[in-house]
Amino acid sequence: MDRFIITGGNRLFGDVSISGAKNAAVAIIPAAILADGVCRIENVPNINDVTIIARILRQMGAEVKSVNHSTLEIDPRPIVSPVASYEQVHQMRASYYLMGALLGRFSRAVVAMPGGCDFGVRPIDQHLKGFAALGASYNLEGGIVDVKADQLTGNNIYLDVVSVGATVNIMLAAVKARGLTVIENAAKEPHIVDLANFLNSMGADVRGAGTDVIKIRGVSHLEGTTYSIIPDQIEAGTYMVAAAAAGGDVTVHNVIPKHLESITAKLEEMGVTVEEYDEAVRIVRDGPLNKCNIKTMPHPGFPTDMQPQFTVLLSIANGTSIVNESVWDYRYRYVDELRRLGAQVSVDGKIAVIEGVKELVGAPVRATDLRAGAAMIIAGLVARGTTQIDEVEHIERGYENIVEKFQAIGADIRRTFVYENSNSKAI
Ligand code: EPU
């Protein structure tokens, strides 16, 4: 079991380069199942979620080759069965994208309900509503979703909730359906646009991605393609907040600044300088941090996946800030950990009230989920003394080389391996 040890207090200086977007990769890799040829996917982040989804595809019969550390070649043609078992999918929430992709290819998908970050109930009713509108029937039994259709046929689908997952799954199922599918109240996240661009590069006809109406005209055949994944908006935001929290001068490279607007706006409101370049942002923070209020919203609103990192930042700002988590019912499990470092945060339902404190003090904590784990790193970087973070496998699901990237900008962070008897050895 790995553990991170951080000694806080170092200001951060230098350059960090952002990897490909996790949430685009975990949609695009299963989407390759729809191709009748080889898909070469570039700028793939080297993270555990990608390793898992690539392994699932291999176990299903696909040929998946790592051409180099950020390029995968996937030949999905040897996959002959639409079944993904619990043993295969349980480690990863986004394996539900196999449903849409297998349904699109075989008109049937038998996929176990996945695992992944736990923010309370994570329903898939909108995914199933979409499949049903395309003419599929489904059965949910023993934790397995069995969805099938004689012929998928395009239809109008209005999503009752703006859902990234449902939008992706319906796109995957609809690209080879007969006729026109219109998704209304669709999610607009950058990774939705990236998936649409990937599908179109295979010969699909997807229009309107990035707006709340996506139109998909089904085609009979999708080809192999070469495609490069967009940079990770949330990884970039995490380093931006870390630089703001620790203070210093950090340039974050390989980003699309437009995707970072809501994050930049909040940092500026807090008194942080953000300079935008074509493919980089520079974060400079010398002075005090101001309080601010945040409400998480679907894109282009403030991303829920940046909420824990900003809560840490607000915990050392002057004054009282309010965070309203409007996307997930419960995404504050990490607050108990943050309080162990001296943060003053009270939570009532979806609202967190944060009283800024002068300093955090290092303590042992754990990563309760991916972004919460990233937030604990940021807290450790500003805390006096040493912070030990356990359960970092959550963090390594979604951040490539996070220890090395932080070390390169001056953070005192290292990874240790902890044996069962809890002796630890630095590696
Ligand atoms: N929802 C429903 N019914 C559904 C689907 C969703 O009620 O059928 C609700 C959810 O309960 C939630 C809201 O709709 O309250 C939004 O859920 P969404 O479906 O958009 O989330 P997701 O697709 O499961 C993706 C990201 C999450 C990110 C959310 C919101 C991936 C693999 N995951 O999840 O990312 O928080 O969108 O932006 O793309 C992360 O990267 O750390 C992460 C958790």
- DSSP β-bridge partners for residue 290: 318
Residue 124 CA: nearest ligand 1 atom is 8
Distance of alpha carbon 97 from alpha carbon 18, whole angstroms: 24
Give the contacts of 277 (CB within 8 A, at least 6 positions apart). 257
How far does residue 165's CA lie from ligand 1's centre (Å)? 6
Q: How many CB atoms lie within 10 A of CB 258?
A: 11
Catalytic-residue membership of 39 = no
Q: Is a pLDDT exceeding 50 seen at residue 427?
A: no
Q: How many CB atoms lie within 10 A of CB 143?
A: 10
Q: Is the C-beta atom of 92 inside 6 A of ligand 1?
A: no
Which among 280, 291, 287, 241 has a CA at the least distance from the CA of 262?
241
Q: What is the pLDDT of residue 424?
A: 52
Q: Could you give the angle at which helices 370-382 and 307-315 cross, rounded to 10 degrees?
A: 20
Q: What is the pLDDT of residue 370?
A: 96
Q: Is the C-beta atom of 53 inside 6 A of ligand 1?
A: no
How far does residue 75's CA lie from ligand 1's centre (Å)? 28
CATH topology match: 2-19+231-426 vs 22-228: yes
48 three-state secondary structure: helix
* pLDDT tens readout for residues 272-287: 999 999 999 999 999 9
Which residue puts its alpha carbon closest to atom 37 of ligand 1? 164
Catalytic member of 117, 174, 216, 281: 117
| Mutation to probe ligand 1, out of 147, 159, 161, 297 (largest number of atoms < 8 A from CB) | 161
Residue 126 CA: nearest ligand 1 atom is 8
- Residue 420's pLDDT band, with cuts at 50, 70 and 90, is low
Q: Is a pLDDT exceeding 50 seen at residue 130?
A: yes
| Mutation to probe ligand 1, out of 48, 164, 169, 185 (largest number of atoms < 8 A from CB) | 164
Q: Is a pLDDT exceeding 90 seen at residue 338?
A: yes
- Residue 63: both structure tokens together: 């040929």
The answer to whether domain 22-228 has CATH 3.65.10.10 is yes
Q: What is the pLDDT of residue 120?
A: 54
Residue 329 CA: nearest ligand 1 atom is 15
Element (H, E) at 413: strand 412-418
Sketch the domain layout of the chain as residue ranges. Answer: 2-19+231-426, 22-228
Element (H, E) at 169: helix 164-174
Which residue puts its alpha carbon closest to atom 16 of ligand 1? 163
Q: Is the C-beta atom of 159 inside 6 A of ligand 1?
A: no
What number of CA atoms fall less than 13 Å from residue 191's CA on the CB side?
24
* pLDDT tens readout for residues 54-113: 999 999 999 999 999 999 999 999 999 999 888 778 777 678 899 999 999 999 999 987
Name the strands in the sheet holding 63-68, side by side, starting at the edge strand that comes first in the sequence: 63-68, 71-75, 39-42, 226-228
Q: Is a pLDDT exceeding 90 seen at residue 400?
A: yes
Q: Is the C-beta atom of 304 inside 6 A of ligand 1?
A: yes
Q: Look up the CATH architecture of domain 2-19+231-426.
A: Alpha-beta prism (3.65)
Q: Is a pLDDT exceeding 80 seen at residue 425?
A: no
Rg of the chain (C-alpha set): 21
| Strands 248-253 and 280-285, sheet pairing | antiparallel
Phi, psi dihedrals of residue 318, rounded to the nearest 5°: -75, 125
Mean pLDDT score, 128-149: 94
70 in Cβ contact with 42 (< 8 Å): yes
